[in-house]
Amino acid sequence: MKRRGFIAAAGAAFVAGCNKIADSDTGSRLLGAAEDWHKKAHRLLTDREALAPEYPRSAISPFFRGNGSTDPQNGDYQQQAAENFANWRLDVRGLVENPMQLSLENIRKLPQRTQVTRHDCVEGWSAIGEWTGPQLSLLLDAAGLKPEAKFIVFRCADNLNGQDYYESIDLIDAYHPQTIVAHMLNGEPLPIRNGAPLRMRVERQLGYKHPKYLTAIEAVASLDDIGGGKGGYWEDRAGYQWYAGI
């Protein structure tokens, strides 16, 4: 990853600059600290990049319950559902070189990843399901992230208690191999309760970080001006952690 290259370069530059003072006490302390920092940063990144556990198909839960919005009534969602989502479009926009508008057909034709994972909701339930869709990294690379892009915001079609659901993640999770734009659950098109026609899977984080009814993927430099500024519906509304790693 780019960031790993940056850390390696920053570490190397710092160590090189310190060569001359390595003999002094202060110098060796500084070098020690730099090395330590480098190791810790590296460990943090490899942890973040590790895969979430995947399960055999035999472990799939017989019923994957729906939570939060399970049948959006706002906007034109019901109309789109009646059309079997034939006119659904996913916008890829914001700090990208080539904004895109993708149909479900476009999304189904991309290379796909299928993964059987466990979903953990903070409300105290879990379910195992098999999700299929293209990796988010594929879409981001096709759109071409601008260097200023630091976060990916997900916009959703549902309005829950007067606020539009949205979420956001950093680029480590955005480029994680198990972060996919899912259009199938257990080999079937997504049920409405689980986010039809598209929902994110961000497998290294808790349930509320997996937005359903996905309408847009937006690259931004800061989360301050998005929604209430805390990076997500539940973060704004109830002070949930923005980073909900598992």
Ligand X SMILES: Nc1nc2c(c(=O)[nH]1)N[C@H]1C(S)=C(S)[C@@H](COP(=O)(O)O)O[C@H]1N2
Does the footprint of Mo ion cover residue 208 (CB under 5 A)?
yes
Is the Cβ–Cβ distance between 137 and 174 less than 8 Å? yes
Region binding ligand X by CB under 6 A among candidate stretches 52-60, 86-94, 175-183, 190-198: 190-198
Binding partner selected for residue 66 from ligand X, Mo ion, none, CB under the kind-specific 5 to 8 Å limit: ligand X
Phi and psi at residue 126, in whole multiples of 5°? Answer: -135, 160
Is the Cβ–Cβ distance between 134 and 141 less than 8 Å? no
Q: How far is the CB of 142 from ligand X (least distance, A)?
A: 24
Separation of alpha carbons 75 and 159, rounded Å: 9
Does the footprint of ligand X cover residue 212 (CB under 6 A)?
yes
3-state per-residue secondary structure call for 35-96: HHHHHHHHHHHHHHHCCCCCCCHHHCCCCCCCCCCCCCCCCCHHHHHHCCCCCCCEEEEECE
Q: How far is the CB of 226 from ligand X (least distance, A)?
A: 15
Separation of alpha carbons 228 and 96, rounded Å: 23
Interacting residues with ligand X between 4 and 63 (CB under 6 A): none
Shorter beta-carbon distance to ligand X: residue 113 or 209:
209
Stretch (H or E) spanning 177: none
Region binding ligand X by CB under 6 A among candidate stretches 32-40, 81-89, 171-179, 209-217: 209-217
Does the footprint of ligand X cover residue 153 (CB under 6 A)?
no
Residue 144: which region, alpha, beta or left (left: phi > 0; alpha: psi -120 to 50)? left
Does the footprint of ligand X cover residue 67 (CB under 6 A)?
yes
Residue from the set 113, 176, 204, 210 that interacts with ligand X by CB under 6 A = 210
Binding mask 85-124 for Mo ion (x = CB under 5 A): ------------------------------------x---
Residue from the set 34, 68, 136, 173 that interacts with ligand X by CB under 6 A = 68
